[in-house]
């Protein structure tokens, strides 16, 4: 769908490619989100956080902590990790999208996730259990064709799972009604 050059920093996050660089000691604005913040399909310099950096100028230090396929739960854990490692942002911006619910609750061995059973929520796969991927997975990963087929299969499977989970969770509309009440106060 696109062909763009992506650069990452030493920590694996999207590298800043804005026209304006922050001055040393500028207040940090930490931006968390999924592929939208990371800049999926967007070339350097046009990423959301680069645009913000350009608009705010050198008196701000906008940092991109977007991670593809993360939900707000994984982003919270990432923020806690950043704070533990001495990041002290002046502002934290969390971007979310409708797929975050599925990303938060997806039974994915690559990241922590939340198991939802009615009103009971438990954290699973935290810390992340590292597994050796089998020979078949390595073979699929090495093949563009097989990777594309596996992606389509996994996407359809995840879509069915999220739809089923949403139907179970929102069956009595209690959560939706609470959200409407909260909106009335805001």
pLDDT at 173: 53
User: Would you say residue 36 has pLDDT above 80?
Assistant: yes
User: Would you say residue 119 has pLDDT above 70?
Assistant: yes
Q: Is residue 142 very low, low, confident or very high in pLDDT (cuts 50, 70, 90)?
A: confident
DSSP 2-54: ------B-TTSSBPP--SS-PPTTPPEEEEEESHHHHTTT--TT-SHHHHHHH
pLDDT at 34: 94
Q: What is the mean pLDDT of residues 153-172?
A: 75
Q: What is the mean pLDDT of residues 128-136?
A: 76
Tell me how far apart the alpha carbons of residues 36 and 42 are, in angstroms, rounded to a whole number.
Answer: 9
Q: What is the mean pLDDT of residues 29-58?
A: 95
Nearest to 75 by CA among 36, 41, 129: 36
Q: Is residue 139 very low, low, confident or very high in pLDDT (cuts 50, 70, 90)?
A: confident
CA distances to 34, 67, 109 from 37, in Å:
6, 8, 23
pLDDT at 171: 58
Dihedral (CA of 154, 156, 159, 164) sign: negative
User: Would you say residue 143 has pLDDT above 90?
Assistant: no
Q: What is the mean pLDDT of residues 120-145?
A: 83
Tell me how far apart the alpha carbons of residues 66 and 77 are, in angstroms, rounded to a whole number.
Answer: 13
pTM of the model: 0.72
pLDDT at 172: 58
Tell me how far apart the alpha carbons of residues 53 and 89 are, in angstroms, rounded to a whole number.
Answer: 15
* Percent of the residues in the chain that have a pLDDT greater than 90, as a whole number: 53
User: Would you say residue 156 has pLDDT above 60?
Assistant: yes
CA distances to 14, 61, 74, 102, 171 from 113, in Å:
23, 30, 7, 9, 22
């Amino acid at each position: 769908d696109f062909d763009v050059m992506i650069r990452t920093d030493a920590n694996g996050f999207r590298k800043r490619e804005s026209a304006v660089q922050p001055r040393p000691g500028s207040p940090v604005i930490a931006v968390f989100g999924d592929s939208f913040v990371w800049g999926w399909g967007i070339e350097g310099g046009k990423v959301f956080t680069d645009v913000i950096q350009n608009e705010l100028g050198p008196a701000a230090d906008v940092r991109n902590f977007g991670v593809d396929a993360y939900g707000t739960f994984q982003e919270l854990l990432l923020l806690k990790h950043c704070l533990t490692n001495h990041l002290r942002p002046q502002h934290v911006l969390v971007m979310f999208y409708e797929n975050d619910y599925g990303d938060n609750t997806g039974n994915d061995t690559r990241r922590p996730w939340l198991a939802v059973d009615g009103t009971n929520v438990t954290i699973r796969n935290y810390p992340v259990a590292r597994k050796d991927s089998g020979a078949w997975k390595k073979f699929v990963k090495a093949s563009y064709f097989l990777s594309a087929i596996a992606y389509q299969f996994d996407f359809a499977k995840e879509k069915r799972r999220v739809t089923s989970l949403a139907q179970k969770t929102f069956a009595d509309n209690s959560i939706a009604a609470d959200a409407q009440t909260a909106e009335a106060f805001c």
